[in-house]
């Protein structure tokens, strides 16, 4: 999966898809080394890759290890809207069944994912 960092593009969905994609490399993912991050970074598009380079330069200056957990944290800080949780609660509050129960459940699950 690729991540472009566009407005409205959910980093959580990309994180989930990435973890699913590399699920067969569970040992590598659990080791959480810089090799994992380097491998995953190949799926970042140009603008996100520029951001990624700057983030790791800062991390190296602060002597922080390059890990998948840290990358996820930094991605969320940078690309998830500041009012993400508030907006999600508002959208859940406003969710009403207007079609079939299946459509309603699908809308609910989309919000919760």
- The domain limits of the chain are 1-80, 81-113
Question: pLDDT tens digit string along 5-14?
Answer: 998 788 988 9
- Coil, strand or helix: which one is 2? coil
Count, residues in the chain: 113
Nearest Cα to 34, choosing from 75, 2, 65, 70? 65
**Beta carbons of 23 and 12 less than 8 angstroms apart:** no
Asked whether the predicted pLDDT for residue 50 surpasses 90, the reply is yes
The pLDDT of residue 48 is: 94
pLDDT band with cut points at 50, 70 and 90 for residue 86: low
Query: Rg (Cα) of the chain, in Å, rounded?
Result: 17
pLDDT in the model for residue 100: 92
pLDDT confidence of residue 26: 72
- pTM, two decimal places: 0.70
């Amino acid at each position: 999966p690729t991540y472009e960092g566009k407005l409205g593009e959910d980093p959580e969905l990309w994180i989930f898809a990435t973890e699913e994609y590399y699920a067969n490399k569970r040992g590598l993912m659990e080791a959480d080394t810089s090799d994992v991050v380097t491998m995953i970074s190949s799926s970042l598009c140009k603008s996100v890759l520029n951001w990624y380079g700057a983030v790791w330069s800062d991390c190296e200056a602060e002597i922080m290890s390059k890990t998948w957990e840290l990358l996820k944290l930094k991605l969320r800080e940078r690309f998830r809207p500041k009012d993400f949780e508030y907006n999600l609660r508002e959208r859940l509050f406003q969710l009403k069944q207007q079609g079939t129960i299946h459509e309603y459940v699908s809308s609910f699950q989309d919000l919760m994912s």
